[in-house]
Structure 1
Amino acid sequence: MDEVPHGADLRARLWRGETGDGERYAVKVSGGGTPAGLIVTAHLAERGVPGVAAQVRTCDGRLYAERDGHRLSVVPWVSDLRALDGPMSEAHWRAYGELLAAVHAVPVTDELERLLPGGGDAYPSIVAATRDVAGRLRDQADSGDPLVAELAAVWAANADRVSTLLRGVERLAVDRLGPAVVCHGDPHLGNLLLGADGQVWLIDWDDAVLAPPECDLMFVLGGVLAFAPITAEQQQAVLAGYGRTDVDPLRLAWFLAVRALDDLSDWTRQALDLDVEPADRDRAARIVRGLVSPVGLVTLADAAVRDLDRRL
């Protein structure tokens, strides 16, 4: 068993396990949320959705075991190569679009409707967290901690963008509803694994939701698929795999804005946490800087909301 350090969920741990005969597995212990993500992946795998690895069942047929209040799950280890580390071929980009289309086409059962939250339902708490972090930065700007001072300056320089996103999220929330499908909820390149001949796998379904397709497609159409912007050629390859879709610009802008505020407030909060290791605080601060960069999510979401305001 070798621990794998990837991932932003502080409540989960992941290992790569290998058996005596060379079979490899992803072994995950998760302490937060619900088992809905495991149920979704089983549902998708049973229906033959490509790129979704089915769980190894427990001896009594369950999707996971319970260990000290945590969920222990096991799936085959399908690849060592994350799409974030690349490179992705055109075939990989197209397969990624095909995978999203297959997920969105799966019928929503009564069980999934009961288990899965609505995409973006947590926006009131995200708005509140954003305002709370802004207040903490104002109060702690003169604390003597250089990292806090830097983050306070970053937020002050982007106050207009943050205000635009807050207003947009609250104002557009009543119009965000649409046809709900199964969505991964977080299909960025860090959750995509690459195989030979253009094969891809989508992992980490803990944030699965029922939402309009824009909840997932914003990672392609909104340019936030990774820490670097997606190119026009890559975007076209994904859409060629996905097939015809009518994207609602209002829903797309809304999901972008919610995600931008969530990432900005959460990573800033981690950087402010003095109980976190200094290296982890520095990493969180670097991500905050990336979010407000010219190609960062906050910048892209702000542009989408302002563009929508002009159209309306």
Structure 2
Amino acid sequence: MDDRLAARVAEQFGLTLITAVPVGFGADPTATLWRATTRDGHEYAVKLSGGGTPAGLVVAAGLARRGVSGIPAPLVTRDGRLSAGHDGRRLRVVPWVSDERAADGGMRPGHWRRFGALLAAAHAVPLADELAGLPREDHTHAAIAAAVRETDRRLHAVDGSADRWTREVAAHWRAVAADAARLLDRVDRLGAELRACPAELVVCHGDPHLGNVLLGPGGEVWLVDWDDALLAPRERDLMFVFGGGPAFAFDSRLDEAAFRAGYGPVEPDRVRLAYHLGVRALDDLWSWSAEVADAGRSEADRVRALRIVEGLLSPAGLVGLARGALRDLGRWDS
């Protein structure tokens, strides 16, 4: 962390940092995260981000204030705001709660139960005051559809003059291009169907995969990074367990029974699950493919992105799960 940013933290949040260590968690290329320590020994997560929306901080603060456990409350600036501007990005500070990520394989039945209870509590919060003004799911996915089509155009135009990583990801894309086009078509149809059938909207995290779940030594579970928070049908979040559990559980064994014990009785709408699963699969596929083909990225970043693309396209990967969900509904071959 440079001196200007440390000074900004002191000026806006009243914290004098003595250490600030970069943390490589997360996939947001617009974000940088530090684990910072103050003179009194307290630790904080300091994040500078240009992605998502300010709504995430509003949601995290609102849920923490309402007593929803497992959500670190963001600090406020000296003048009462949840973030400060810095070089065109948002600077926010929250208490550092843990460096044990659930994605690394530590989820046990008790964690899954607490994770279910945490999401249930968030979904049950009344939509009043500041929460009523959150972005809303509209089932249009227009930006994702445009990005998929543009990525398809770019990668089909790749020739032998391109670098190794671009050629490799272009070959992967071309191998599944027909399936990707069909998936987008089916998602478009489901979106139109769901726009005509409104559902109850609840406060959703929007991206509660295990990379955003932290574990504590006493069995605690925290859900962080609320940047994509919105009002949506609960399937937007439940998709990560009921729709794509094997793909989203990373190295942890999915325990659906324990999750249900914490969340409570629920039977997600299979059509909505299939829709959100398909949208997420397309979003991940185009964005990680584009990162591989970005010659401005480091080789390490491009290799990592290529491995993620290969995982998305593997037999147990997200693209296959989305295809299977549609097939189970009789919507894939029709």
The TM-score, its normalising length taken from structure 2, stands at 0.88
* Greater mean deviation of Cα atoms: 67-76 or 87-96: 67-76
Q: Distance in 2 between matches of 1:144 and 1:186?
A: 34
- 1:295 and 2:313 aligned: no
The equivalent of 2:286 in structure 1 is 265
Going from structure 1 to structure 2, the CA distance change for 1:146 and 1:68 (only over 3 Å counts) comes to closer
Amino acid at match of 2:137: G
Match of 1:112 among 116, 131, 136: 131
Match of 1:241 among 238, 241, 262: 262
Superposed displacement of residue 310, structure 1: 5.5
Superposed displacement of residue 165, structure 1: 1.1
Q: Is the 8 A contact 1:183 1:215 kept in 2?
A: yes
Q: Deviations over 1:153-186 (max 9, x none)?
A: 2122223321231111110102334111010000
How many pairs does the alignment contain? 309
The equivalent of 1:225 in structure 2 is 248
- 1:94 and 2:117 aligned: no
Secondary structure of residue in 2 paired with 1:281? helix
Superposed displacement of residue 225, structure 1: 2.2
- 1:36 and 2:59 aligned: no
The runs of 4+ residues in structure 1 deviating greater than 4 Å are: none
Secondary structure of residue in 1 paired with 2:28? coil
Q: Distance in 1 between matches of 2:57 and 2:315?
A: 36
The equivalent of 1:67 in structure 2 is 86
Q: Distance in 1 between matches of 2:138 and 2:31?
A: 22
> Equivalences for 1:149-298 in 2 at 5 Å?
149-176=167-194, 177-222=198-243, 223=245, 224-227=247-250, 230-231=253-254, 234-298=255-319
Q: Distance in 2 between matches of 1:283 and 1:193?
A: 22
> Equivalences for 1:133-148 in 2 at 5 Å?
133-148=151-166
Q: Is the 8 A contact 1:253 1:304 kept in 2?
A: yes
Secondary structure of residue in 2 paired with 1:66? strand
Superposed displacement of residue 103, structure 1: 0.6
- 1:47 and 2:70 aligned: no
Identify unmatched segments of 5+ residues in structure 2. Answer: 1-19
Superposed displacement of residue 37, structure 1: 0.5
Q: Distance in 1 between matches of 2:327 and 2:111?
A: 33
Q: Deviations over 1:77-112 (max 9, x none)?
A: 011100011321211111000001001001112533
Q: Is the 8 A contact 1:45 1:53 kept in 2?
A: yes
Secondary structure of residue in 2 paired with 1:51? coil
Q: Is the 8 A contact 1:182 1:209 kept in 2?
A: yes
Amino acid at match of 1:208: A
Amino acid at match of 1:151: V
Q: Is the 8 A contact 1:141 1:152 kept in 2?
A: no
The TM-score, its normalising length taken from structure 1, stands at 0.94
Cα RMSD for the two superposed structures: 1.8
The equivalent of 2:6 in structure 1 is none
Secondary structure of residue in 2 paired with 1:57? coil
